[in-house]
Structure 1
């Protein structure tokens, strides 16, 4: 991997790690549905002119139905779930659950596309989900009150399952569609899905400038610019190397949460994160590496 590609990978991880910080800052004032809608509509408005300049607008029309479904799975439900989770659990913890995305992707591909995993990858799935159980057991509480974090944990796992489902859906129905067209089209689809819930739950009190700044950063930086970096990495270094961003996001998210919000890190979080990332490395084929 070239130095420039490594820089892009670290930058993408830092940006996506920061998304969990921005969610924590803005979710309380916006509410989950309104915040998720601002994020996707802003991302769509950022990406659409780029798609038009590259001459990919026709792909949006031809694949509108599939892009709508993919948008609900890729952004609509996940962004809603993470905005909800941000109300009660830390940025670092949300990002660690987000790291299970490749695990769910492998399970869905096994079930739907009959992409049977090797023994190493099957072991990785088992190890990764043990890490999820470890963290969920430690952090999930369904007791009434401020400490009722259980539904937030469930929301994170619903989001990552949708990510895994969307990967197989995109692979099956959107093959050959220009990646930036997929990115813009899915944000439009998610915007249509979230428009009514956002309207019905729009906050009565205008969110503060700080919350609006975080919401705009989610839309432009963590969605629009991040997609450009992501697809550029896919083209240059391939999916197997790009998936390494999954391992870096929790580190950045924990660092941003500690630096700007004073969030702490527990031993259970460290152990659970290590187990999840080990399982992900095995499930995605990053480990064990074949000798040259």
Structure 2
């Protein structure tokens, strides 16, 4: 990997490990719908003008049906569910639970007709991942409420299935353009619920407002642009390795900055889940067509 590739890789590993910390800080004083609205508004304000200036908005809108499905599964639904769940769950636990996405994605691909063989190494990785999450929940069960867990389970399903829409129905749509449209649509959807609360939100502590600002500008707009630059630099499969490091970053930041406890479940489950992710998403030697430029798994926290 080139030096530029490594810089982009390390930047993305950090940038997409941070949102769980910021969401936790924001939802302490702001309603989840306000956090999602603010994040999307800022991201759309930065990415949509770029998309229009590059002439990529109209081609994206021609595929509005799959783009709308992608929006619901990748942003509109998951981001509100994560914000809701983090009112109860710690940021470190949330980040680690979402590490189940690679396993769900492998299963979704298999069920939808993906001919890629699940060899013994990948099956071992999936087994380790399930075991790690089971250890995590089993050892920390007294601290876990069922509804937030259900919310994160729905997030995992959305993050796992949305990429199938991108690869099969939106291969010719720019990733940044698709993200700009998705952010704009999500902003519009939540505006009627968030705008009446903005007066109250304006009186929230500065750390909550700053968290939303960083979440929208850095962890959404900048992160999406960097992610697609990373894909162009190292290819989609190598780019996805950031998925393995994001949970570790989320756990570390939660423990160091939010004084979240490093529980036995986190200590035991984290390395097992990360190892399982590495093995489960490992590419096997297959007789299949080369991956297209659009074949990208987009998992945005």
TM-score normalised per structure 2: 0.86
Shift of residue 197 of structure 1?
Answer: 4.1
Quote the residue 1:21 is aligned against.
21
**Which of these residues, 157, 175, 178, is aligned with residue 174 of structure 2?**
178
Measured in 1, the distance between the counterparts of 2:284 and 2:85 equals 31
Quote the residue 2:295 is aligned against.
none
Q: Cα RMSD over matched residues?
A: 2.2
Q: CA-to-partner distance for each residue in 1:216-265, whole Å, 9 max, x for gaps?
A: 11111100000011101111101211111012112222222233212221
2:13–2:243: 8 Å Cα contact kept in structure 1? yes
Shift of residue 200 of structure 1?
Answer: 7.0
| Structure 2 spans left out of the alignment, 5+ residues | 286-301
- 1:250 matches 2:247: yes
Measured in 2, the distance between the counterparts of 1:266 and 1:195 equals 38
- 1:231 matches 2:228: yes
2:140–2:264: 8 Å Cα contact kept in structure 1? no
Measured in 1, the distance between the counterparts of 2:139 and 2:196 equals 35
Measured in 2, the distance between the counterparts of 1:246 and 1:82 equals 17
1:32–1:83: 8 Å Cα contact kept in structure 2? yes
Q: CA-to-partner distance for each residue in 1:36-70, whole Å, 9 max, x for gaps?
A: 12112221111111112222121232122322221
2:27–2:35: 8 Å Cα contact kept in structure 1? yes
| Structure 1 spans left out of the alignment, 5+ residues | 142-146
**Which of these residues, 135, 152, 172, is aligned with residue 148 of structure 2?**
152
TM-score normalised per structure 1: 0.89
- 1:133 matches 2:106: no
2:37–2:194: 8 Å Cα contact kept in structure 1? yes
Quote the residue 1:55 is aligned against.
55
Measured in 2, the distance between the counterparts of 1:14 and 1:7 equals 11
Where 1:207 maps in the other structure, the secondary structure is coil
